[in-house]
Amino acid sequence: MTTKNKSKESIIQAIKFTLFSLSAGIIQVLSFTALQELPPLLGLGELDYWMCHIPSLALSVIWNFTLNRKFTFQSASNVPIAMLKVAVFYLVFTPVSGWLGDFADTAGWNHYLIEALVMASNFILEFLYQKYFVFRDAQKKNKE
């Protein structure tokens, strides 16, 4: 494959990943907002940042992984191993983002600003991680 074709393929992957990540972001924002806003409306009090962040992140990760595996990186091989690799990413990302988010929350930052910053960092890091680690072998097979 020529360098020009590799660049074009990388750009197409980045666009697909962005579009699927936007849809996952919508899921994350809607679920985060529901967890942030509904308990007080029901008289249950406000949930801590991480209690809203973790479930909304989990929903978006499952959605994003499924779509990107199938359409962006076109990988049908060894889904459990790919899922395990993504789980390892989130074993690091989730506590770090949760801790930093909780720290920012305690410092008085707006919950939605915190969530937006976490989502932006997740988008960038996850694309690089999936492209160059999780689906690297699948991309090589697709090129052959």
Q: What is the pLDDT of residues 13-72, one digit of tens each?
A: 999 999 999 999 999 999 999 999 999 999 999 898 888 988 998 999 999 999 999 898
**Predicted local confidence at residue 15, as pLDDT:** 93
The pLDDT tens digits for 80-117 are: 999 999 999 999 998 998 889 889 989 999 988 998 89
- Interval 128-139: pLDDT, tens: 999 899 988 765
Q: What pLDDT does 115 receive?
A: 83
What are the structural domain ranges in the chain?
3-143
pLDDT digits (tens, 9 = 90+) for 61-81: 999 999 999 898 888 778 899
Statement: residue 142 has pLDDT above 70: no
What's the predicted TM-score (pTM) here? 0.77
Tokens of 82: 């790919």
